Every structure is written in structure tokens, then in C-alpha cells.
């Protein structure tokens, strides 16, 4: 598969007083929101980025969307550094905000809201603009009548569809969807996720779904990345992560999903709050909350595990699996983490 967008060793630390610092209730030291992330997304691929609040997933999404610049590392779109891209090429990367109500002007009708990006893409005459707006509304499952409505007249699901139509008007190749279903109920959530994945499949648009909800993105993503305290700790297909989660943090996240596999014997639960990204723990960043650190010993708090192959197509950052990429199953069995995949 052709890589569309990738990050290499990307870091984003917030060192001045900012909303990010207020979010983490941090003063003085820098907030290591994203701390060395390498990730690639192929053409037409849907990737889910999951983790608890404050793990850095939104900052990573903003970096990929070009709304933040990395302090270290590089972000490439079609093999070219994002820093050197023209504004036209940058338009190929768009962000779908999590709260459409706040991003749609209540004083303008939907036609006016969609007209600006439609004209920007070269539709000049009234007929061309109206035809394109009709097409966009149809793409997102709304009739042409919605063009004459105002955002305050729409439901949460309809607002999200209009926000998506506005994003699609710029003909993106990649969309960062930042918690796109956080403000809607479960029924609408499923509809919005299906709509986004359907449009992605039909038009070859790559998506990054940012969510704290592993259960919500598992049905639409080709690949899932689990983020913890500024780093990716596990990566794999939804099938791999749900049937054979390796990292103790991934297993704990899965345990938090009430509706999966009620007969499962998984017993890990997350203890306490995530440590502050201002002063991450030494060694493995998950060690203060990990039930398995005693299996490994001091290495867990003295040395940082690297993201490595997990014996399949996935990646995992945990000493429990050191050596598994060379074919040894021993570390899994020894620690009781081996899963039967049936």
C-alpha cells in the first residue's frame, strides 16, 4: 500500500502557558503531549487512534492536520515534508472537529457555510455552486432542503453531517476525525461512523479516527493504535487487538468496554489516573499502573521498552514480549498473557 501521510519521531512539548498546560493542570515544566511518535497511514486506510484523555492523541491529530508544528521529527505527506507544502496541497489534509455546533456559524444558513469552500475549489457560477452543494449534502445523507436551514435548527447528527460536507467540499485526501461522535447518542454515533467509513471507502479518503472509545472505532478501522502518555504502546488490526491484546494497557482498555465478550476472563483494570505528561515516569511509562511489572522486575522502571514486532503484523511496547519477534512464545506463556485465538 502507498503511504499517504507519516510521522517520524515526532515530538510536541508545550513549554509556555497555554490551554494545553491548563488542560494538564501543569505549571512551569513542559507538557510532553506527543513524545516521539512514528506512524504511517496508507492511501484509503482508516486508522483508529485510541487512549485516555490527555494521552496526546488530539495533539497528534492536530500535528497531522497541520494545526500544530512538531518540535522534533518530521511529518510527510506524499513523501514531502508538510512544512514545505503549498496551501493548496495542505488543503488535502483536513480536520473534522469534535463539536460541530461550535464550528458552524449560527448566523449563516448551510448554503452560505458551504459556499465558501465550494468557491475556493473553483466552482464560480451560482448554478455550479448550488449543484456542488446539492452533491455534498447528498453525500452526507441530507436532502437539498437543508441548504436553507441554520445550524441551530439541526440535530446533533445533522450538524455533524453538515460539518463533514464542509470538510468534503475541500476535496481532502486525508481527514483527521477528532472524537467525531462525542456529542451524539449511540444510534447517531453508529450512523456517523458508518457514514464516515462509507465515504472513505467510496472516495479513497484516508481517515484518522481519534477516540477514547475502542469499541466505537473497532468496526470501521483497518488498524488501531493505542496511545499512552505521548507514545504509541500497541498497534495492530482490530481483530488482533480485540482477540489477542498484548500490552497490559490495551487489555485494561478492553476490560473497560462492558459489551465485549461478557464471558471473558480478562481481569486487568486500570489503577489510578494517568501520570502527568509534565514528568512522565522513568522506564516504561505505564509501570506505576501495570499489574505485570513484578514479573519483569526493575527493568520496567529503569529502561524504556521500544515498539517492536509482536510476532504478527502488530507492534507492542512492553518487555513481556522481548524476543517474541524472533519466534519465542515463552515470554507470553511465562507471564500468563498468552491468549487462545479461536
Q: Indicate the residue among 236 and 305 with the shorter CB distance to ligand SF4.
A: 305
**Residue list 293-312, contact with ligand SF4 (CB under 6 A):** 293, 296, 300, 305
Residue 319 within binding range of ligand SF4, rule CB under 6 A: yes
**Residue list 238-277, contact with ligand SF4 (CB under 6 A):** 247-248
Residue 318 within binding range of ligand SF4, rule CB under 6 A: yes
Q: Indicate the residue among 96 and 226 with the shorter CB distance to ligand SF4.
A: 226
Shortest distance (Å) from residue 305 CB to ligand SF4? 5
Q: Indicate the residue among 170 and 307 with the shorter CB distance to ligand SF4.
A: 307
Q: Which stretch binds ligand SF4 (CB under 6 A): 83-91, 129-137, 282-290, 323-331?
A: 282-290
Q: Indicate the residue among 223 and 287 with the shorter CB distance to ligand SF4.
A: 287
Task: Name residue 96's beta-bridge partners.
Answer: 177
Q: Indicate the residue among 61 and 314 with the shorter CB distance to ligand SF4.
A: 314
Q: Which stretch binds ligand SF4 (CB under 6 A): 57-65, 87-95, 118-126, 291-299?
A: 291-299
Residue 286 within binding range of ligand SF4, rule CB under 6 A: yes
Residue 290 within binding range of ligand SF4, rule CB under 6 A: yes
Task: List residues near ligand SF4 by CB under 6 A.
Answer: 247-248, 284, 286-287, 290, 292-293, 296, 300, 305, 318-320
Amino acid at each position: 500500500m502507498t503511504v499517504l501521510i507519516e510521522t517520524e519521531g515526532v515530538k510536541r512539548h508545550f513549554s509556555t502557558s497555554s490551554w494545553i498546560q491548563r488542560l494538564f493542570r501543569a505549571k512551569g515544566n513542559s507538557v510532553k503531549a506527543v513524545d516521539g511518535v512514528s506512524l504511517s497511514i496508507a492511501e484509503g486506510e482508516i486508522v483508529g487512534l485510541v487512549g485516555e484523555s490527555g494521552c496526546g492523541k488530539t495533539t497528534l491529530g492536530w500535528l497531522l492536520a497541520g494545526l500544530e508544528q512538531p518540535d522534533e521529527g518530521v511529518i510527510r505527506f506524499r513523501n514531502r515534508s508538510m512544512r514545505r507544502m503549498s496551501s493548496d496541497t495542505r488543503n488535502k489534509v483536513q480536520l473534522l472537529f469534535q463539536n460541530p455546533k461550535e464550528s458552524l456559524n449560527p448566523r449563516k444558513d448551510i448554503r452560505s457555510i458551504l459556499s465558501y469552500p465550494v468557491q475556493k475549489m473553483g466552482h464560480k457560477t451560482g448554478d455550479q455552486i448550488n449543484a456542488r452543494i446539492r452533491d455534498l449534502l447528498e453525500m452526507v445523507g441530507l436532502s437539498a432542503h437543508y441548504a436553507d436551514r441554520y445550524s441551530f435548527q439541526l440535530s446533533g447528527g445533522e450538524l455533524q453531517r453538515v460539518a463533514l460536507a464542509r470538510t468534503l467540499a475541500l476535496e481532502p485526501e486525508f481527514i483527521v476525525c477528532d472524537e467525531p461522535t462525542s456529542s451524539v447518542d449511540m444510534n447517531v454515533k453508529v450512523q456517523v461512523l458508518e457514514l464516515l467509513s462509507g465515504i472513505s471507502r467510496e472516495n479513497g479518503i484516508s481517515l484518522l479516527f481519534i477516540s477514547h472509545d475502542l469499541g466505537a472505532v473497532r468496526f470501521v478501522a483497518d488498524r488501531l493504535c493505542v496511545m499512552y502518555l505521548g507514545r504509541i504502546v500497541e498497534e495492530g488490526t482490530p481483530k488482533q487487538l480485540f482477540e489477542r491484546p498484548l500490552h497490559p494497557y490495551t487489555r485494561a482498555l478492553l476490560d473497560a468496554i462492558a459489551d465485549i465478550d461478557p464471558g471473558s476472563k480478562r481481569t486487568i483494570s486500570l489503577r489510578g489516573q494517568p501520570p502527568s505528561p509534565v514528568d512522565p515516569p522513568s522506564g516504561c511509562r505505564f509501570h506505576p499502573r501495570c499489574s505485570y511489572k513484578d514479573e519483569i522486575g526493575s527493568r520496567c522502571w529503569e529502561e524504556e521498552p521500544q515498539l517492536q514486532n509482536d510476532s504478527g503484523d502488530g507492534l507492542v511496547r512492553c518487555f513481556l514480549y522481548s524476543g517474541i519477534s524472533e519466534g519465542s512464545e515463552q515470554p507470553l506463556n511465562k507471564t500468563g498473557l498468552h491468549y487462545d485465538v479461536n
